[in-house]
Amino acid sequence: MLTYIHIWNFAVVEKLDIEFNNGLTIVTGETGAGKSIMLDALGLALGDRADSSIVRNGSDKAEISVTFSTADTPDAEKWLVEHEMNSENECIIRRSINTSGSSKAFINGIPSPIKLLRELGEKLVDLHGQHEHQSLLKTDLQRQLLDDYANNQPLLEQVRQNYKAWQTLNTEFQRLTQASKDRTAQLELLRYQVNELETLNLQQGEVKEVEVEHKRLANANQLLGSSDAVLNSLVEDENISVSHILNKSVSELEALTRLDDAVKPALELLNNALINVEEAASELRNYSSALEIDPQRLELLEQRLADIQNLSRKHNTSSDELHNLLPALSEELDKLENADVRLGNLETEIQQAQQTYLDSANQLSKKRGTAAKKLSRLVTASMQTLGMEGGKFNVSVTAGENYSAIGLDTIEFLVSANPGQSLKPLAKVASGGELSRISLAIQVITAKDSRIPTLVFDEVDVGIGGRVAEIVGLELRNLSEHRQVLCVTHLPQVAALGHHHLLVNKSTSKKVTSTQVSSLSQTERVEEIARMLGGVNITEQTRSHAREMIEQASKNKAKEVELV
């Protein structure tokens, strides 16, 4: 739901802050006051093209910020999470345009390309009367609307899963078929590679062990010589060894302790040092006795490492990962050796999977057809009450052989706005007012099933009046029971049915023109609707009529409009 718009230095708006609520919000104002500026700003925030002409005269840049509550908009919430832009059930879109025509866009503070604004915008707002954001003109969204109306989501998911299973089998079949063409050469290569790896018989962790042992044997002479030298300096040489010096020092300090106890700590430390030296010497003796100079073993280790490195390079993998290659190649070899058997089985499985898909897709087509007839009848009936007597609406569901994850059908909304005209795609309807009213009829009927939370109708009342105008207002009010609705209107019959009312004013001061938007109180609403009824000269009778229209709207409480 749209909750807030901030507009700054946009066209004739210097600064504008507008809060929005649930229900039906009416936007009115004198001709030329700038009622569409708010919608233009919303369109820019949702990804419309921008140029420098929209920047207010004398300013460096224009900025639009819109805030949405996404608590009841699962599609938008899912999109935000997938793009790592979620922010606790709130979405803030900000866009700025400078005088050079370049623009910047942000979603929840994250810089975003215009393409993402459009993707997200289509899940948040549907603008009627301005073509760039009319989701009903897009055939994929027409299909989605029909499926939502028919409650087809469980069946549609089943079709998707069946299609995926079928395509997975097809992919495997194609891979095995292609592989079988070069089967002899591939079998020879795989058998050779598997044989090499089996001969190598590399174990997990073996590379590290071989490297450690090789390093020790390769440096055995240095290790033996150095350890013997250290051992000699520690205990072997009776004249200069550390052990000899420590023993002599201990004996002298023991004699001194008989004269002064203060030297006992030093004596204790020397005794500990002597123990450590003897333990170190013992460790070195054990190490030296275990250390061998073994040229044959060293040669074997060097060859082992060379074999490992050669195969690692051949398979373009690290020596530490080489042991994982044998199971993978063995499995591939097994599949190829049994390819003929698997191909035969796959053909049967593919036929079964295709039939399973077709069964579910045909069931989906049948449900779509039933829902399409009902929706066509209801929208056609609604068109008669909206100033398009004799008009027809038809949801075309054409099943073909264009298999896809969403079924077999091509779905298109067709319309004839006037008697005698042939049905044409909704996207080709010429009149913006007719298109808005047709969209209104569709949206009212499908409101409970639609996923887009905010609808905006701009000049939906073009070319109508009287009873039809009141019906349009009632339809909008009915629609607002399920979704947030904003409507720019010139008709008092429509304006009187709003839950909230915004007035757009344009003023000129010192040759500077600016537009303001204000939320009307109950008394102010009476004055505005009286203006819409009576023009320049507003009488008390006109005000009384306006007051009666507002009171009657409150009593209606979104009553159902009888379709004829």
pLDDT digits 0-9 by tens, 180-196: 666 777 778 888 988 98
Is residue 248, in this structure, part of any structural domain at all? yes
The token pair that represents 330 in the structure block: 């063995």
Is residue 284, in this structure, part of any structural domain at all? yes
- Give the total number of structural domains in the chain: 1
CA distance from start to end of the chain: 32
Pairing of strands 454-458, 484-488: parallel
Is residue 63, in this structure, part of any structural domain at all? no
What residue type is 402 in one-letter code? N
User: What is the tens place of the pLDDT at every residue in 152-182?
Assistant: 999 999 999 999 999 999 998 888 777 666 6
Is residue 363, in this structure, part of any structural domain at all? no
pTM, two decimals, is 0.59
**Domain enclosing residue 310, as ranges:** 206-319
Is residue 162, in this structure, part of any structural domain at all? no
Is residue 410, in this structure, part of any structural domain at all? no
Average pLDDT over residues 194-199: 88
Cβ atoms of residues 504 and 35 within 8 Å: yes
Is residue 219, in this structure, part of any structural domain at all? yes
- Residue 395, classed as helix, strand or coil, is strand
Cβ-Cβ contacts under 8 Å for 218 (sequence gap 6 or more): 298
Q: How far is 28 from 17, CA to CA, in rounded Å?
A: 17
Q: How far is 102 from 50, CA to CA, in rounded Å?
A: 8
According to DSSP, the residues that pair with 407 across neighbouring strands are 404
Where helices occur in 219-324 by DSSP H, the ranges are: 220-231, 242-257, 264-290, 295-314
According to DSSP, the residues that pair with 415 across neighbouring strands are 393, 424
pLDDT > 60? residue 224: yes
The Cβ of residue 544 has, within 10 Å, a number of other Cβ atoms equal to 12
- pLDDT for residue 431: 63
The token pair that represents 79 in the structure block: 């999109």
Average the pLDDT over each of 160-164, 331-335, 351-355 and give the range with the smallest value.
331-335
Residue 132: which pLDDT band, with cuts at 50, 70 and 90?
very low
Is residue 226, in this structure, part of any structural domain at all? yes
